[in-house]
Amino acid sequence: MKSNLILIFLLLCGLTFAQPAEKLSTEELPGAIKQYYQDLNLINSFSTPSEKLHLTNYLYTKETNRAPNSKRLAHVLKLLEDVKNQEYVSATTMPNKFNSAPASSSFLHVVQYWFKDHEFISVRLKLYQLDAEDNLKIINLYDEENDSILLDGEIEQLTTPQYFTDEYHEWIFINDQWLKKGLRKVLVH
């Protein structure tokens, strides 16, 4: 009975289940979407959860006394702005600065597969929790290397992130750009 209720709930929430293999895309993920996930991983790797929360507040308030105080945090703020600008906001979307920004998380997003249906793309991701010690190790390395940027593969080699959950993200092509719909769909294990 409980599992039936969970299934009904997931269906009502519009959870997109995995499509048959022949529907999965064999093309490369569009560059803007690929960049979005790389930016998320860099944001989560180069800042602590409290720094992300502080920067997200600054992004929405622009209070000068809350401006980033280092090159690293200025870089993270720029990435947060880029991520925010790639999110679809409809007239019915409730404004919520913490809805889709990685405000207090430290997850690495790894694309598992994706499929396209006309102007829509669904992406399945595995989320890995970056522990505080690894997070600080990457931040220190960033500061020591004079702000040089590590690629996702390098971040994964420096850490031992733990699997957390799977998510589906939906993207829509509007005005010649891919925009991520605000709500995430989390798979409950």
pLDDT tens for 27-83 read 889 999 999 999 999 999 999 998 998 898 888 887 767 778 888 999 999 999 999
Q: From residue 2, give the alpha-carbon distance in Å to each of 7, 13, 131.
A: 9, 17, 33
CATH class of 29-187: alpha beta
- The residue among 44 and 93 whose pLDDT is bigger is 44
Taking all residues of the chain, what is their mean pLDDT, rounded to a whole number? 76
Grade residue 93 by pLDDT with cuts at 50, 70 and 90: low
Listed residue (16, 29, 186, 19) closest to 111, CA to CA: 29
Is the per-residue pLDDT at 145 higher than 80? no
Cα–Cα–Cα angle for 179, 184, 186, nearest 5°? 150
| Tokens representing residue 164 in the block | 């957390």
CA triple 28-31-140, angle to 5 deg: 110
Read off the pLDDT of each residue in 146-161 and give the average, rounded to a whole number: 62
Confidence at residue 13, expressed as pLDDT on a 0 to 100 scale: 30
Which residues 6+ apart lie within 8 Å of 39 measured at CB? 79, 82, 83
> Taking the CA atoms of the chain, what radius of gyration do you get in angstroms?
17
Beta strand 177-181 with 87-88: parallel, antiparallel or unpaired?
A: parallel
Percent of the chain surpassing pLDDT 90: 32
Q: Which of 131, 155, 128 is nearest to 141 (CA)?
A: 155
Higher-pLDDT residue of 145 and 94 is 145
pTM: 0.75
| 10 pLDDT higher than 50 | no
Tokens of 179: 């925009």
Return the beta strands (E) in the chain as ranges: 87-88, 107-117, 120-129, 162-174, 177-181, 185-187
Residue 79 has what pLDDT? 94
- More reliable by pLDDT, 146 or 77: 77
Relative orientation angle of helices 71-85 and 31-45, to the nearest 10 degrees = 140
Amino acid identity of residue 5, one-letter, is L
Is pLDDT above 50 for 8?
no
Q: Is the pLDDT higher at 102 or at 1?
A: 102
Q: Domain boundaries in the chain?
A: 29-187
pLDDT of 14 higher than 50: no
Is residue 103 predicted with pLDDT exceeding 70? no
- Contact between 25 and 122 under an 8 Å Cβ cutoff? The reply is no
Residue type, 33: I
